[in-house]
Amino acid sequence: MQTLILAAGQGTRMRPLTERWPKPMLPVAGRPLVAHTAAAAVQAGASRLVFVVGYEAEAVRARFGTEFEGVPVDYAVQDVQRGTADAVRVGAAELDDGPFAVLNGDNLYRENKASASGLDPEGEADT
């Protein structure tokens, strides 16, 4: 299933940490926070990752490129951060038709939790 990973925010509530790194790129256990999210999505069966980026977008692009753990990666740009619903709208415009999952790039997920969030290899989506 296609998966949107929301990674556009500035992380103002996490300052001063986010003065050095954008929130999704904060190091956690040896890699960026959003890398843990992406790995959980892949482990849960994601067929494509679309990162919704905005603030410091190039840091995310530089880290993930066009493929992550064998899964294609694309990007949608949220030029002005207007919240989660707008980020999903921007990201969904980049997706192919069909179901998709949405994960917050600043949350940690276990593979089974990512599955419960809507990633189902048989195409059933939680609403």
pLDDT value for 62: 94
Tell whether 121 is covered by a domain.
no
Q: What are 19-49's pLDDT values in tens digits?
A: 677 788 877 888 898 999 999 999 999 999 9
Domain count, the chain: 1
**Which CATH number is 59's domain given?**
3.90.550.10
Tell whether 122 is covered by a domain.
no
Higher pLDDT, 80 or 17: 80
In the structure, what pLDDT confidence band is assigned to residue 116 with cuts at 50, 70 and 90? Answer: very low
CA-to-CA distance for 53 and 81, rounded, in angstroms?
A: 9
pTM above 0.75, yes or no: yes
Domain span including residue 14: 2-116
Tell whether 126 is covered by a domain.
no
Helix (H, G, I), strand (E, B) or coil at 70: coil
Residue 106 has pLDDT above 90, yes or no: no
